[in-house]
């Protein structure tokens, strides 16, 4: 292989989402190969093809992948959330981990608002009924003047707020536990107010949307106790991470009518499997489900692919300060240097 060429394993699903961008990488010496996403198969593929770097999706990687990649290699997440990557293990092996912050914010925000609109106008139900030959108009509700609680006022939460407030005329209440510039959020994004307690943010909310990271501390953030704080007429929207919601508690709340509905793009197990056989969210009438498509627009996929390859180019050039590094401690290890 020529000295200025490196090979990159790209998980098959992600490769298909942005094939044009990955194929174009060859013009700059980045040969991207479609590879299996399952960890053991991916690890074998990397070893057999002498791969230097890998681009992966949402799958959880806990073992052989870190032994297969060479020291100084990049494990590039095609997306933002990186709970599936073991940063400590990667650091111990001298592997640089990156993600693609900022490139999918608009896509996820648009889907979030789309799910609210679908809920307000019963779109899944009336579409299925009309397709089956039943002409049964249903009365929905407008989003104007409804209250939206945005849990997490980061980049995606702010975009959701701006669309909801400025585009739909909703009253938007933010919930953020870290200090923020409340006046800036009001002026630039349309937040009416910012609260630091979930209970205060959702007290009057018709819709509650989650935009916080998935960590050990936020696992099952929405549980029986927090669901009990929401209004009976409210909807829960989750386009962030499945682990944020205790699905068994959500099933119970929906079944008992303690909240009206849920629109979910992410789940604890993907593809979706009920946490308990008798608590299958698919069996409930006011649950809208989509298969983790928040970032799946062509525009966002192309941006994620480009950003992942840029991180790899920077690593190859030794320009580590410009990378979206998730484990900067790796730079303190001599092993990160491929030379």
Q: What pLDDT, in 10s, does the model give residues 75-85?
A: 999 999 898 99
The string of pLDDT tens digits covering residues 18-38 is 999 999 999 999 999 999 999
CATH 3.20.20.220 fits 105-289, yes or no: no
The CATH class that applies to domain 6-103+297-336 reads: alpha beta
pTM for the model: 0.90
Dump pLDDT digits (tens) for 118-149.
999 999 999 999 999 999 999 999 999 999 99
What are the Cα distances from residue 255, in Å, to 135, 174, 224, 258, 259? 27, 28, 13, 8, 9
Same fold, 6-103+297-336 and 105-289: yes
Residue-range domain boundaries for the chain: 6-103+297-336, 105-289
Instruction: Please state, for a pLDDT cut of 90, what percent of the chain lies above it.
Output: 94
The DSSP annotation for 57-105 comes to -S--B-SHHHHHSPTT-EEEESSS--TTB-HHHHHHTT-EEE--TTSSH
Res. 339 pLDDT band, cuts 50 70 90: very low
Say how far apart CA 99 and CA 35 lie, in whole Å. Answer: 19
The pLDDT confidence band at residue 334, using thresholds 50, 70 and 90, is low
Q: Which residues are annotated as catalytic?
A: 241, 270, 292
3-state secondary structure of 272: coil
Lowest mean pLDDT among 156-165, 202-211, 236-245, 325-334: 325-334
CA angle 115, 117, 123 (to 5 degrees): 85
Average pLDDT, the chain: 95
pLDDT of residue 338: 45
């Amino acid at each position: 292989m020529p000295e200025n060429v490196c090979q990159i394993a790209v998980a098959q699903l992600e490769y298909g989402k942005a094939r044009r961008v990955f194929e174009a990488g060859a013009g700059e010496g980045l040969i991207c190969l479609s590879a299996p996403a399952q960890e053991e198969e991916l690890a074998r593929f990397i070893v057999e093809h002498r791969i230097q770097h890998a681009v992966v999706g949402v799958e959880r990687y806990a073992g052989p992948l870190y032994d297969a990649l060479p020291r100084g290699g990049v494990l590039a997440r095609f997306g933002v959330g990186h709970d599936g990557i073991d940063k400590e293990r990667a650091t111990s092996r001298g592997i640089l981990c990156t993600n693609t912050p900022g490139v999918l914010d608009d896509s996820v925000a648009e889907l979030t608002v789309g799910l609210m609109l679908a809920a307000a106008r019963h779109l899944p139900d009336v579409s299925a009924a009309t397709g089956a030959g039943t002409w049964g108009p249903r009365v929905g509700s407008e989003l104007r003047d409804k209250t939206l609680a945005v849990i997490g006022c980061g980049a995606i939460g702010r975009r959701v707020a701006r669309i909801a407030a400025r585009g739909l005329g909703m009253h938007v209440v933010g919930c953020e536990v870290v200090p923020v510039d409340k006046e800036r959020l009001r002026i630039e994004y349309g937040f009416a107010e910012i609260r630091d307690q979930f209970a205060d943010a959702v007290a009057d909310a018709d819709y509650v949307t989650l935009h916080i990271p998935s960590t050990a501390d936020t696992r099952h953030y929405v549980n029986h106790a927090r669901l009990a704080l929401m209004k009976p007429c409210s909807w829960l929207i989750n386009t962030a991470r499945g682990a944020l919601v205790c699905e068994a508690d959500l099933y119970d709340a929906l079944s008992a009518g303690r909240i009206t509905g849920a629109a979910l793009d992410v789940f604890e197990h993907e593809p979706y499997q009920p946490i308990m056989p008798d608590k299958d969210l698919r069996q409930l009438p006011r649950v809208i489900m989509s298969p983790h498509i928040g970032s799946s627009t062509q525009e966002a996929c192309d941006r994620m692919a480009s950003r992942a390859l840029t991180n790899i180019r920077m690593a190859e050039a030794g320009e580590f300060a410009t990378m979206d590094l998730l484990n900067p401690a790796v730079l303190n290890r001599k092993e990160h240097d491929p030379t």
